[in-house]
């Protein structure tokens, strides 16, 4: 599967989530309104185990939007050119499941504030990782509280197969004809909006000769400097390391054998992405198997992280925002996707968060070009076979806990 330029179709992942009892429609509406009111009064709330810093008033969270703070020059004209011809009444509440912390701060400044103004919406965020949010959507299928949720590859078709996503109208998504064909969902669900890639990340102030390949992570010179993903990331590591050592991501036995060699020399595991950032900041490790866009965000905070494409190839990691089955705000989901595809907004958001824009008309200029992977590099990257991963990751996790975790010395 390594080296392919296609995105694998993902089949259902058996997720154990509590299914609430079906209530009557009046109760559902009352529950949702009550939740929205509570969220609106308390957000931003806890994200990834810590408080999310509120957005400043001038960024539009609690007051008017000052566009010049985000997009220089012609940014003030973007909203006027793309504003739908609608009467401006009270903003519509739009509950969105998304990542928290600094990721949300950048998302709000770069995308959501423009979306709110263009589509007369008020965003109420619910924070969590992609897997946590998907489990929430599955658990709430009888009485959904979200309008929209972020998904990453691996979770993409899980929600589709479980019947918790709503299709969108591609004719109502602005600039959808400008994006790459492979970003479209063949079944009519939301398209990909942008990309990251997964490879090798290192602290340039601490590592003078970084690894050139995944296999070099096993070199003695990097002992006790490396962290890899733990429980939430074990499956992608196994497939990637199997590919690196054997050329076949399905050779999981080989990956386990190699990880038994590597584990005693690891600095340890990382959990959520905020945990990885914290451990880089603390000097806990100087090298990690991690994501290009997260490395860029941490670099913006002052830590000189660099992303390296391993010789065996990086791994593509696209993102989407899906409408939740039963939402009355599918048009707002289409509006949010349209906002991502605006070339000027996409360019500015890449500066903030390091994502590779889904619209090829988004221009990446200056110093940023050395940090943001190109679409050609994305298309040369490997794709995980999530059909295979989803069918086996439960068994792999048990084996990981039994065979690998006890070997970690930290």
How far CA 51 is from CA of 42, 62, 104, 105, in Å, comes to 11, 18, 12, 12
**Which pTM does this prediction carry?**
0.74
CATH architecture type of domain 25-195+317-370 = 3-Layer(aba) Sandwich (3.40)
Lowest mean pLDDT among 45-49, 226-230, 327-331: 45-49
Higher pLDDT, 286 or 30: 286
- State residue 268 phi and psi, 5-degree precision: 145, -160
- Within 10 angstroms of residue 11's Cβ, the number of other Cβ atoms is 14
Pairwise CA distance, residues 180 & 94, whole Å:
28
Q: Tokens for 391, please give them.
A: 């069918």
Q: Tokens for 77, please give them.
A: 């004209």
Pairwise CA distance, residues 117 & 246, whole Å:
51
Give the range with max mean pLDDT: 21-30, 226-235, 245-254: 245-254
Same fold, 25-195+317-370 and 197-316+380-407: yes
- pLDDT digits 0-9 by tens, 83-111: 454 557 899 999 999 999 888 999 999 99
Overall average pLDDT of the 325-335 stretch = 98
Contact (Cβ atoms closer than 8 angstroms) between residue 163 and residue 187: no
- pLDDT digits 0-9 by tens, 118-139: 999 999 999 998 889 999 999 9
Pairwise CA distance, residues 164 & 372, whole Å:
33
Report the pLDDT value the prediction gives residue 379, as an integer from 0 to 100. Answer: 85
- State residue 126 phi and psi, 5-degree precision: -120, 120
Report the pLDDT value the prediction gives residue 87, as an integer from 0 to 100. Answer: 54
Lowest mean pLDDT among 43-52, 56-65, 277-286: 56-65
Torsion from C-alpha of 354, 358, 364, 369, nearest 10 degrees:
50
Pairwise CA distance, residues 192 & 319, whole Å:
6
Domain boundaries, the chain: 25-195+317-370, 197-316+380-407
How far CA 404 is from CA of 148, 235, 269, 397, 407, in Å, comes to 37, 13, 11, 10, 5
Lowest mean pLDDT among 283-292, 360-369, 381-390: 360-369
Contact (Cβ atoms closer than 8 angstroms) between residue 137 and residue 144: yes
To the question of domain 197-316+380-407 being in CATH 2.40.50.180, the answer is no
Which DSSP string do the residues of 133-187 spell out, in sequence order?
HHHHHHHTTTS---SEEEEETTTHHHHHHHT-EE---GGGSTTGGGS-GGGS-TT
Report the pLDDT value the prediction gives residue 60, as an integer from 0 to 100. Answer: 30
Rg (CA), the chain: 21
Q: Judging by beta carbons within 10 Å of its beta carbon (0-12, 13-18, 19+), is residue 34 exposed, middle or buried?
A: exposed
Report the pLDDT value the prediction gives residue 274, as an integer from 0 to 100. Answer: 79
- Which residues is 195 bridged to in the sheet? 318, 356
């Amino acid at each position: 599967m390594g080296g392919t330029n296609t995105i694998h179709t993902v089949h259902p992942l058996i997720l154990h989530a509590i299914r609430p009892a079906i209530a009557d429609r009046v109760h559902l509406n009352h529950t949702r309104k009550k939740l929205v009111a509570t969220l609106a009064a308390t957000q931003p709330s806890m994200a990834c185990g810590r408080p999310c810093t509120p957005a400043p008033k001038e960024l539009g969270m609690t007051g008017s939007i000052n566009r010049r703070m985000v997009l220089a020059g012609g940014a003030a004209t973007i909203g006027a050119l793309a504003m739908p011809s609608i009467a401006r009444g009270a903003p519509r509440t739009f509950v969105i499941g998304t990542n928290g912390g600094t990721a949300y701060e950048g998302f709000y400044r770069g995308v959501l504030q423009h979306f709110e103004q263009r589509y007369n919406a008020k965003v109420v965020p619910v924070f969590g990782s992609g897997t946590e949010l998907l489990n929430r959507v599955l658990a709430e299928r009888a009485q959904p509280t979200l309008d929209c949720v972020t998904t990453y590859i691996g979770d993409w078709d899980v929600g589709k197969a479980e019947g918790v996503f709503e299709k969108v109208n591609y004719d109502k998504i602005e600039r959808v004809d400008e994006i790459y064909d492979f970003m479209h969902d063949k079944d009519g669900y939301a398209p990909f909006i942008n990309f990251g890639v997964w490879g090798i990340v290192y602290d340039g102030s601490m590592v003078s000769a970084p690894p050139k390949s995944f296999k070099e992570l096993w070199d003695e010179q990097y002992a006790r400097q490396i962290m890899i993903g733990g429980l939430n990331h074990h499956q992608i590591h196994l497939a990637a390391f199997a590919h690196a050592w054997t050329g076949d991501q399905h050779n999981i036995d080989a990956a386990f054998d190699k990880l038994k060699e590597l584990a005693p020399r690891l600095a340890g595991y990382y959990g959520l992405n905020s945990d990885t950032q914290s451990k880089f900041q603390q000097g806990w490790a100087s090298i990690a198997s991690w994501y290009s866009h997260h490395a860029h965000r941490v670099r913006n905070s002052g830590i000189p992280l660099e992303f390296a494409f391993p010789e065996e190839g990086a791994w593509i990691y696209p993102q989407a925002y899906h409408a939740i089955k039963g939402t009355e705000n599918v048009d707002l989901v289409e509006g949010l996707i349209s906002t991502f595809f605006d070339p000027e907004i996409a360019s500015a958001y890449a500066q903030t968060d390091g994502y590779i824009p889904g619209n090829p008309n988004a221009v990446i200029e200056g110093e940023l070009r050395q940090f943001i992977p190109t679409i050609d590099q994305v298309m040369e990257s490997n794709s995980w076979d999530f059909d295979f991963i989803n069918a086996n990751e439960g068994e792999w996790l048990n084996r990981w806990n039994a065979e690998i975790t006890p070997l970690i010395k930290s």
